[in-house]
Structure 1
Amino acid sequence: MEFPKEEVGKRIRHLRKSQGFTADDLAKKAGVSQSMISQIERGQVSPSLETLWKMSHCLKVPVFTFFEAENQQDVTVTRKSELVDLERIRPNAIYQVLSPNHGKQICLFKLILAPGDVSDNPLVFHSGEECGVVLTGSIQVEVDGKFYDLDEGDSIYFDSNLPHRFVNTSDDTSIAIWAMTDPI
């Protein structure tokens, strides 16, 4: 399922306004122009990964929030056919949101990492906590300058405020199930 840039823009606008920010406020905090924020919110441009991460940090929400359908139900079932692949969030990675967390405290997703050197990927950080388990392959998780090599069946937990990134260290695609809290 592809998520239209118009929907992403609407969510960003809603979050910005609900937190009392003007487009200019968000632009200054994210280090982009006010016209860029306006174009993103109207669905005229697709923001880069870097811009999405900056905006999510400014708005204090996980970047996945921009791609979730609004849903305030007590029980949410996500069918395989409804999964949204968030490609290009990071090179060599696909994120599949398994349980939308709009208004909830936990986001569950599948992390699919293609093999390849992504050591130039920026480290990211955001509020909350993360934990994950490797289903297939091997993943190296860098957290605050330390490296943790995880193989099939291994798991990790860390504070998301610490700069972190994921690297597939195997020759094949690696898959992990990840949970991330959103205390905001």
Structure 2
Amino acid sequence: MKISLPHNIIGLQLKSARSNKSWSLDTASKHTGVSKAMLGQIERGESSPTVSKLWEIANGFELPLTYFFGELATNNTLPEKLITEQSIAIATLFPFDPKTKSEIFLLTLEPLHQHMSVPHNTGVIEHLIVIEGEMEYYINNQWHHLKQGEFVKFNADVEHGYRNLSDKKTTFHNMIFYTGEEKQPT
């Protein structure tokens, strides 16, 4: 699922993060597990990363995911969705807050869609709250069912995922808390 943002925001933020750490593309590649060529393409706006790749980059830089979205408008209205593929949409409700060490997203899964997420850094915790529909989440090698109004909290430093097995869209909040010793954006 590719992220679509105007004016190569992700590439500019990646370049800024690399500059802040004084990392070469080679060093950034070693820390993120993403190839030097791919990182260069993202920085130049020639390629758009998948959400999974962006998580790998965020984890390697020890930054929250929303750091790479730049300054998004926060005027108390629902933001434009960061449409990835036709089967999932992600909107940032609250970008990273250094006081609470958290960020909040609104995710919409189309019918019969599944998304697996790479493990986040140690200490990252996710909370899911189903707003509409029903879904399943994957943790500890097992799928668990959630209906509208139900919620769960889990450590996200392991492989985890979300899926919609129904014939209707599912919408849920995903709150991510960075409780570990990650370095915060400057």
Q: TM range, normalised to the smaller chain?
A: 0.7 to 0.9
Structure 1 runs, 4 residues or longer, greater than 6 Å off: none
Closer/same/farther in 2, CA of residues 114 and 41 from structure 1, 3 Å limit: same
Note the alpha carbon deviations across 1:66-125, whole angstroms, 9 max, x for none: 11317xxxxx943326x142222x77221110011164511011111111143xx44421
Task: State the partner residue of 2:175.
Answer: 179
The amino acid that maps onto 2:83 is E
* Aligned pair partner of 1:11 in 10, 13, 29: 13
Task: State the partner residue of 1:95.
Answer: 90
The amino acid that maps onto 2:107 is L
Verify the 8 A CA contact 1:78 1:98 in the aligned structure 2: no
State the alpha-carbon separation in 2 of the partners of residues 64 and 124 from structure 1: 16
Residues 24-173 of structure 1 mapped to structure 2, 5 A cutoff: 24-69=26-71, 77-80=74-77, 83-88=79-84, 92-101=87-96, 103-104=98-99, 105-118=101-114, 121-127=115-121, 128-173=124-169
Note the alpha carbon deviations across 1:34-85, whole angstroms, 9 max, x for none: 3432231122322344432321221122333211317xxxxx943326x142
**SS at the partner of 1:179?**
strand
Unaligned runs of 5+ residues in structure 2 are none
Identity of aligned residues (%): 24
State the alpha-carbon separation in 1 of the partners of residues 81 and 49 from structure 2: 16
Q: Tell me the matched-pair count.
A: 174
**SS at the partner of 2:59?**
helix
Name the TM-score, length of structure 2 as normaliser: 0.80
State the alpha-carbon separation in 2 of the partners of residues 122 and 177 from structure 1: 16
Verify the 8 A CA contact 1:69 1:102 in the aligned structure 2: no
Unaligned runs of 5+ residues in structure 1 are 71-75
* Cα displacement (A) at 1:5: 5.1
Closer/same/farther in 2, CA of residues 50 and 161 from structure 1, 3 Å limit: closer
State the alpha-carbon separation in 1 of the partners of residues 104 and 33 from structure 2: 29
**SS at the partner of 2:96?**
coil
Name the TM-score, length of structure 1 as normaliser: 0.81
Verify the 8 A CA contact 1:141 1:147 in the aligned structure 2: yes
Verify the 8 A CA contact 1:93 1:113 in the aligned structure 2: yes
**SS at the partner of 1:100?**
strand
